[in-house]
Amino acid sequence: MSGKVAYKMLDSGTMQAIEARFEIAGEPASKANSRRAVVIAGRPSFIKSKKALGYVKMFKAQCPKLEHMLEGDLKVEMMIYYGSRRPDLDESLILDCMQDFIYANDRQVKQKFVYWGLDRGAPRTIIKVSPCDIYDIPAYII
């Protein structure tokens, strides 16, 4: 994992993370296409696929864990490099994986900028998480 975290000093004298930038090696599984049906205690249930479970484990081993997680409304920018053209562009599993590492809950993410890339030899995701102004919306979509 390579990454940087920017901090600011609070009035209390503690440091607060204000931005996180990092890279995660590996190809993420599509959350929408990564569920499998199983029967647990006689009831049907859907659980993450083996690929998704493996990616979650790999992500958590590489993701920085902020001592003081980012707070408030957040913007996530990411470039996902896939190993082939086949997978759908899907950041939802990555957003889930950052919970309790970068922010408390992915509901804090109010803006997402997600880009697709191809790197057959080194699939990975480059991520930047920072505060956002929820009112900063491009005029052409209002």
State pLDDT tens for residues 19-45.
Answer: 999 999 999 998 765 555 667 777 776
| Exposure b/e, 29-44, CB count within 10 A at least 16 = b | bbbeebeeeeeeeeee
| DSSP annotation of 3 | E
Q: How far is the C-alpha of 103 from the C-alpha of 140, rounded, in Å?
A: 30
Counted domains in the chain: 1
CATH number at residue 82: 3.30.1330.70
Provide the residue range defining the domain that includes 52.
Answer: 2-141
Distances (CA, A) of 116 to 27, 88, 94, 105: 12, 9, 14, 24
In this prediction, residue 84 has a pLDDT band, given cuts at 50, 70 and 90, of very high
What stretch of H or E contains 89?
none
Mean per-residue pLDDT over the chain, rounded: 89
pLDDT of residue 48: 76
pLDDT tens digits along 104-121: 999 999 999 999 999 999
94-104 tens-digit pLDDT? 999 999 999 99
